[in-house]
């Protein structure tokens, strides 16, 4: 059972979603505008948000950005926009998954279950009781906390998942396809999705792509994390 916020302005669609999700034993709240959604998320804790993009007060993509400013709750975007560039943009903006309208409630249930499994399991297979230390970087998957040189890092859920996955494999070049599969749980996607999150993560680690300290990109191959000045033995 999950706590779900449905953000949908169409009363017919909203009532159908509420009925189905309630029948599936989920706790459901619903609103019809972006501003109402922001108030709900600021005041209450949800396991997942189903966000329609065609809202009357704000475009859903803008609402998504605002949601990401206050919470890491998983967001499934419901959109009639099936352009691949737009979908990639939404994923880069913080969406965890998307559904193209029209969709069945069964399809929504399957996507919700997958998103909730990812959120609850944390980063791809890292033992939850093991604290990872790589140079001055400490990652605690159990508490979902990370520190750099003793200073707490403020990471989004996806940034933490990416960092934990790479830190659990120090010095190993991880192919981009593997990152998509293990961190994003997607069998396909645009490299821009990874690049954007790497850029955000680098900024919080105090480095850049031109002057990396921990995160190193091998063009056309993948990404690796290793401590500064560390060379992997042959």
Residue 215, token pair as written in the block = 């995160």
- Over residues 183-196, the pLDDT tens digits come to 877 655 566 778 88
Provide the mean pLDDT of the chain: 84
Residue 90 has pLDDT above 50, yes or no: yes
Give dist(CA 162, CA 119) in Å, integer. 13
Residue 95, token pair as written in the block = 């969406």
Report the predicted TM-score, pTM, of the whole model to 2 decimal places: 0.56
Going by pLDDT thresholds of 50, 70 and 90, the confidence category of residue 232 is very low
Going by pLDDT thresholds of 50, 70 and 90, the confidence category of residue 95 is confident
Q: Kindly write down the DSSP assignment for every residue of 95-149, as one continuous string.
A: -SEEEESS--HHHHHHHHHHHHHHHHH-STT--TTPPEEETTEEEETTTTEEEET
Residue 158 has pLDDT above 80, yes or no: yes
Residue 219 has pLDDT above 90, yes or no: no
- The answer to whether the beta carbons of residues 175 and 224 sit under 8 Å apart is no
Residue 140 has pLDDT above 60, yes or no: yes
Q: How many whole angstroms from its chain centre is CA 48? A: 11
| 7, containing H or E segment | strand 3-7
What is residue 151's predicted lDDT score, i.e. its pLDDT? Answer: 94
Q: How many whole angstroms from its chain centre is CA 100? A: 19
């Amino acid at each position: 059972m999950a706590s779900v916020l449905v953000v949908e302005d169409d009363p017919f669609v909203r009532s159908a979603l509420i009925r189905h999700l309630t029948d599936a034993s989920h706790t459901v709240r619903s609103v019809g505008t972006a501003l109402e959604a922001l108030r709900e998320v600021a005041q209450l804790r949800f396991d997942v948000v189903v966000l329609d993009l065609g809202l009357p007060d704000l475009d859903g993509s803008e609402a998504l950005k605002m949601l990401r400013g206050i919470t890491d709750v998983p967001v499934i975007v419901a959109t009639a926009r099936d352009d691949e560039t737009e979908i990639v943009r939404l994923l880069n903006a913080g969406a965890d998954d998307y559904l193209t309208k029209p969709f069945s409630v069964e399809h929504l249930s399957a996507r919700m279950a997958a998103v909730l499994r990812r959120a609850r399991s944390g980063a791809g297979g890292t033992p939850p009781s093991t604290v990872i230390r790589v140079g001055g970087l400490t990652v605690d998957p159990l508490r979902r906390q990370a520190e750099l040189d003793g200073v707490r890092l403020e990471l989004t859920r996806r940034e933490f998942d990416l960092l934990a996955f790479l830190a659990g494999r120090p010095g190993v070049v991880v192919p981009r396809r593997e990152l998509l599969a293990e961190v994003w749980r997607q069998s396909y996607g645009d490299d821009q999705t990874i690049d954007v999150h790497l850029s955000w993560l680098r900024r919080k680690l105090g480095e850049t792509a031109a002057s990396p300290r921990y995160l190193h990109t091998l063009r056309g191959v993948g990404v690796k994390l290793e401590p500064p000045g560390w060379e992997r033995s042959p």
